[in-house]
């Protein structure tokens, strides 16, 4: 054979070897535009190429289509991309600028590195022409091997994807499965429910009892409900998806998003924790978990998971900024608490909550304690109440210490302190015991629990003695409780009750003052002080307290009557005329000019109401005038019906009704034509108080 012939034969052999070599697929070969996220994929025309044969050490050649792993199978048997797309076609066209959302292209080769030795494709060279529109049949082995299949299953369609951009994880608008040149948003609902970290093919996942279809159908239905805002229905479908494939990170991520929208944050947090446990390198799961940690105020955990998300390019700069703001405000709040600067502590706690920690037990407890120390007891109690309504998570992962207490025990301690201030002593002891169970080694927790127990015991002993009529001994018992809790308004008010029973009115006023200093709106203390002022004949103070009580308790007839008698006593002490004062009377009707003149020139304040029976405004305001008459017994209320007494109306130059004229000691001080109820009430009360 000549040299030329030998060269020709060698070139032909090389050409034959190139045709038989199993080459790795490129991005252009593997990925395609999946089309609309709502409509199913449209099948492209199938063109089947006949694979050529070549000899190998493993025997007969196999089609590379059998080497293509099913949806969600990892590259080379390891972990795959976070999205776990279903590869619909082997060699589809790719639009310009299109790229895959994962960390790189899936590479399917016949070498031992990808399929294992003696795998589905065998070793050595194989046929290079893939079968389009064909997927392997059967289970995928953990090693990456694919059992041989005679026919391809029906192609799968890609489910919908929900996303919201980068603001909050797990809710928002519709987005395409693979964006044109853009990675999928970190906050999206995952379209594909498949993930690389399970030992069998998603197609082989059996449908659980009660499920309504395949995994893809269930997930697609859940996504549709989610984007419509029906999160309960979406969760029901996502629950089925997790039952179908419990190892799928995408299914668990979708479920966490629905739970978040339903306000079940603790469950969403646990779902994200499970997702990151099953796939520790899933950046999207870490990002969603970090966002939930922020809402719970767990800044250290949030930072940790943001770092892990950043390694997978899933970190959101906006969320990182929120984390930094929250860390700054939380640190300042704790520092202010150490120096007992409660105003600053309250301001910084509010700022930290506003930065995104709307479900933080720790921050709400810090806020409640600051309000408690500022004597804003109602706000402190409402803050604790709102905290109890939240779906809370454990704070055991936080390293923060507050006066030697870990966060979980500190939250219980604050609850105990709020309860004891409001007289809920049994609940306070229960919360204190919970703090001890959580943090048994804390000396501060031990000291607080001991004080709460002693205060509760002193109050119980005092109550027993009071019921037995031993008022002096009861006052001593309440005093012992005040030694352990010097600012407890309930103990002060109870001891004041003992002093009133003993006729020690000045001591009663002193203890009521202390109780009201801590809790300004304490009605029992205000009632006891007003009654004590009456006993001491301090009528100005007595009237002032009863007026406050009457405003807060407008329907209480005893308070109204006590106010009336106090006003009468005050006028009598001043030497004023009290003959016209009446309690609970009706508005007096004026029928003559002489009667009107007598009423106007009587001592005190008189309100003249000019009205007409058929006037609509008069009909609306008349009931309020009757109410004002009972609320202000020191004011004389009179009415003139201009239809029945036109001479009286002309004498007072009244042409429009309703008209009100207020006289004080015979002189007119105010006239109002068609006033609204608020202005009328304010004016009457103003002159009634000034006359006192």
In the chain, the domains with their CATH numbers are 1-40+50-99+106-262 (no CATH), 487-574 (1.25.40.10), 588-691 (3.40.30.10)
Listed range (74-88, 513-527, 608-622) with the worst mean pLDDT: 74-88
* pLDDT reading at 487 higher than 70: yes
The mean-pLDDT minimum among 266-275, 309-318, 467-476, 529-538 falls in 309-318
Burial 194-206 (b: 16+ CB within 10 A, else e): bbbbbeebbbebe
Give the pLDDT of residue 51: 41
**Gyration radius from the chain CA atoms:** 41
Q: What percent of the chain has pLDDT over 90?
A: 35
Tell me the C-alpha to C-alpha distance, in Å, between residue 479 and each of 16, 510, 522, 615: 104, 13, 19, 62
Model pLDDT, residue 464: 95
Which of 26-30, 131-135, 191-195, 357-361 is modeled with the greatest confidence? 357-361
Task: Between 665 and 343, name the one with better pLDDT.
Answer: 343
Residue 131, beta-bridge partner list: 48
For the cut 90, the answer to whether the pLDDT of residue 40 exceeds it is: no
Distance between CA 164 and CA 664 in Å, rounded?
Answer: 67
Average pLDDT (572-580) is 72
What is the reported pLDDT for 155? 47
Which residues are bridge partners to 635 per DSSP? Answer: 605
Residue 465 has pLDDT above 50, yes or no: yes
pLDDT attached to residue 283: 86
Q: Cβ(262)–Cβ(235) under 8 Å? A: yes
Tokens of 220: 């697609």
On average, the pLDDT of the chain sits at 73
Q: What is the pLDDT confidence band of residue 213, given thresholds at 50, 70 and 90?
A: low
Most confident by average pLDDT, 59-73, 78-92, 428-442:
428-442
DSSP H or E segment with residue 213? none
Dihedral-angle region of residue 313 (phi above 0 means left; psi in -120 to 50 means alpha; beta otherwise): left
- State the pLDDT at residue 100: 41
- pLDDT at residue 578, rounded to an integer: 63
Q: What percentage of the chain carries pLDDT values higher than 70?
A: 66
> Once rounded to an integer, what is the mean pLDDT over residues 423-445?
90
CA distance 355 to 84: 34
Please report the pLDDT score of residue 306 as a whole number: 87
Mean pLDDT, residues 432-458:
90
The pLDDT-based confidence of 125 (bands split at 50, 70, 90) is very low
Residue 35 has pLDDT above 50, yes or no: no
* Nearest C-alpha neighbor of 146 from the set 50, 77, 239: 77
What pLDDT, on the 0 to 100 scale, is given for residue 397? Answer: 63
- What is the pLDDT confidence band of residue 310, given thresholds at 50, 70 and 90? confident
Cis ω before 251 (30° cut-off from 0): no
Is the model's pLDDT at 647 over the cut of 50?
yes
- Give the closest residue to 392 by CA, choosing from 296, 259, 293, 258: 296
Q: Does residue 644 contact residue 637 with C-beta atoms inside 8 Å?
A: no
Greatest alpha-carbon span in the chain = 150
> Of the spans 51-65, 84-98, 140-154, 678-692, which averages the highest pLDDT?
678-692
Cα 411 from Cα 393, distance rounded (Å): 12
């Amino acid at each position: 054979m000549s040299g030329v012939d030998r060269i020709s034969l060698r070139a032909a052999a090389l050409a034959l070897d190139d045709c038989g070599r199993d080459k790795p697929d490129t991005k252009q070969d593997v990925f395609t535009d999946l089309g609309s996220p709502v409509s199913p994929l449209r099948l492209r025309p199938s063109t089947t190429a006949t694979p050529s044969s070549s000899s190998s050490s493993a025997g007969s050649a196999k089609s590379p289509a059998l080497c293509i792993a099913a949806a969600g199978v990892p590259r080379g048997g390891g972990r795959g991309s976070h999205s776990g797309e279903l590869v619909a076609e082997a060699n589809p066209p790719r639009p310009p600028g299109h790229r895959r959302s994962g960390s790189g292209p899936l590479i399917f080769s016949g070498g031992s590195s990808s399929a294992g030795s003696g795998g589905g494709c065998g070793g050595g060279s194989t046929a290079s022409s893939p079968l389009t529109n064909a997927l392997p049949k059967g289970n995928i082995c953990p090693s990456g091997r694919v059992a041989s299949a005679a026919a391809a299953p029906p192609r799968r369609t890609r489910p919908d994807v929900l996303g919201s951009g980068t603001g909050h994880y797990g809710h928002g608008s519709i987005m395409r499965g693979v964006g044109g040149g853009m990675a999928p948003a970190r906050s999206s609902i995952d379209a594909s429910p498949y993930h690389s970290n399970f030992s069998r093919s998603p197609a082989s996942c059996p449908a659980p009892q009660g499920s309504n279809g395949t995994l893809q159908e269930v997930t697609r239905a859940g996504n549709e409900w989610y984007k419509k805002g029906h999160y309960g229905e979406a969760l029901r479908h996502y629950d089925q998806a997790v039952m179908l494939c419990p190892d799928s990170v995408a299914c668990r991520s979708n479920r966490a998003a629905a739970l978040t929208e339903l306000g079940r944050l603790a469950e969403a947090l646990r779902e994200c924790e499970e997702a990151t446990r099953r796939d520790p390198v899933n950046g999207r799961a870490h990002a969603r978990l970090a966002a939930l940690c922020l809402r719970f105020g767990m800044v250290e955990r949030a930072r940790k998971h943001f770092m892990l998300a950043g390694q997978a390019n899933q970190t959101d700069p906006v969320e990182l900024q929120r984390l930094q703001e929250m860390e700054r405000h939380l640190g300042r709040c704790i520092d202010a608490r150490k120096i007992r600067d409660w105003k600053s502590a309250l301001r910084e706690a509010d700022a930290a909550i506003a930065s995104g920690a709307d479900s933080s037990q720790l921050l709400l407890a810090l806020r409640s304690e600051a309000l408690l120390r500022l004597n804003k007891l109602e706000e402190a109690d409402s803050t604790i109440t709102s905290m109890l309504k939240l779906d809370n998570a454990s704070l055991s992962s936080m390293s923060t210490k507050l006066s030697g207490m870990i966060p979980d025990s500190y939250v219980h301690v604050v609850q105990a302190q709020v309860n004891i201030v409001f007289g809920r002593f049994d609940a306070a002891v229960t919360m204190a015991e919970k703090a001890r169970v959580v943090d048994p080694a804390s000396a501060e927790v031990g000291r607080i629990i001991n004080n709460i127990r002693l205060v509760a015991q002193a109050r119980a002993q005092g109550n027993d003695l009071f019921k037995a009529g031993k008022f002096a001994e009861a006052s001593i018992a309440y005093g012992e409780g005040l030694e352990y809790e010097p600012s407890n308004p309930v103990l002060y008010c109870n001891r004041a009750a003992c002093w009133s029973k003993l006729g020690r009115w000045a001591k009663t006023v002193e203890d009521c003052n202390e109780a009201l200093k801590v809790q300004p709106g304490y009605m029992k203390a205000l009632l006891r002080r007003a009654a004590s002022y009456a006993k001491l004949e301090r009528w100005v103070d007595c009237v002032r307290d009863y007026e406050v009580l009457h405003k807060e308790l407008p329907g209480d007839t005893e308070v109204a009557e006590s106010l009336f008698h106090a006003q009468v006593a005050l006028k009598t002490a001043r030497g004023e005329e009290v003959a016209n004062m009446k309690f609970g009377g009706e508005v007096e009707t004026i029928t003559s000019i002489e009667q009107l003149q007598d009423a106007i020139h009587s001592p005190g304040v008189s309100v003249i109401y000019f009205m007409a029976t058929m006037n609509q405004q008069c009909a609306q305001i008349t009931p309020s005038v009757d109410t004002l008459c009972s609320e202000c017994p020191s004011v004389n209320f009179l009415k003139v019906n201009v239809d029945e007494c036109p001479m009286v109306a002309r004498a007072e130059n009244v042409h429009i009704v309703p008209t009100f004229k207020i006289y004080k000691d015979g002189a007119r001080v105010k006239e109002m034509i068609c006033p609204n109820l608020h202005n009328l009430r304010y004016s009457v009360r103003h002159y009634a108080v000034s006359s006192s």
